[in-house]
Chain A
Amino acid sequence: GAGVSQSPRYKVAKRGQDVALRCDPISGHVSLFWYQQALGQGPEFLTYFQNEAQLDKSGLPSDRFFAERPEGSVSTLKIQRTQQEDSAVYLCASSSTSGRETQYFGPGTRLLVL
């Protein structure tokens, strides 16, 4: 594929709404990562998949955050009962193996919770 794609690019939600953010990694990439980038900060790790297995979810800030990658390609990050502090850019990255490979980032989804 051409690169990592994410949708939607922008999302406005009312506080308490559920949102779902989609990531399409580069075709064939085994590893997929989600990061959260607050305004003026660097990206912070949320969770990591190797194929369909979620190997690390230590960065998920609360049980309102849930991620899945059921077939080992497309991934969805779901945020339930959104709060204002969830407003951020959510970045997806993929890499070709589980080793020391470069992570390629998507354009991100900018979430604003009102």
Chain B
Amino acid sequence: AQSVSQHNHHVILSEAASLELGCNYSYGGTVNLFWYVQYPGQHLQLLLKYFSGDPLVKGIKGFEAEFIKSKFSFNLRKPSVQWSDTAEYFCAVSLLGRGNKLVFGAGTILRVKS
């Protein structure tokens, strides 16, 4: 079955630390890749997306993600986190030509200590 795996369910960092959240998927076809973020009390928002082209994608608020096709990975990174980055982060995949439904990972809860 198609699936998306996020490596860590909870991450705690101090402000200014670097962040990397892992995401792997198990599809063999062409994929569209997304990271969504849910801040406390808010709804899911798109952080960044990859459809094609440059595998290094830059999103909002200083986040970036790198698509590595050979590793079926789309890891999220930020060089220096802020307290306001405290949120839950979801990796999601959709299959090109198979409808537009998103398949989500279980999410990673990030807590940044000030």
Contact = CB atoms under 8 A, between A and B. Distances in A.
Interface of A: 31, 33, 35, 40-45, 48, 55-56, 59, 91, 93, 95, 98-108
Interface string B48-60: 0101000000000
Interface residues of B, number: 23
A106 B43 CA distance: 6
Contacts of A41: 106-107
B105 A42 contact: yes
Interface string B93-114: 0001001111111110000000
B90 interface: yes
B44 interface: yes
B96 A59 contact: no
A42 B101 contact: no
Given A91-B44, A108-B43, A103 B100 contact: yes
B43 A31 contact: no
B32 interface: yes
A98 B103 CA distance: 17
A40 B106 contact: yes
Contacts of A56: 99, 101
B104 A43 contact: yes
Given A42-B90, A102-B46, A108-B43, A95 B100 contact: yes
B76 to A, nearest CB: 14
A30 to B, nearest CB: 10
Contacts of B42: 107
Contacts of B49: 102
29 contacts: A31-B100, A33-B100, A33-B102, A35-B102, A41-B107, A42-B4, A42-B92, A42-B106, A43-B90, A43-B104, A44-B104, A45-B101, A48-B100, A48-B101, A55-B99, A56-B101, A59-B101, A93-B44, A99-B100, A100-B51, A100-B100, A102-B46, A103-B46, A103-B102, A105-B44, A105-B45, A106-B43, A107-B42, A108-B43
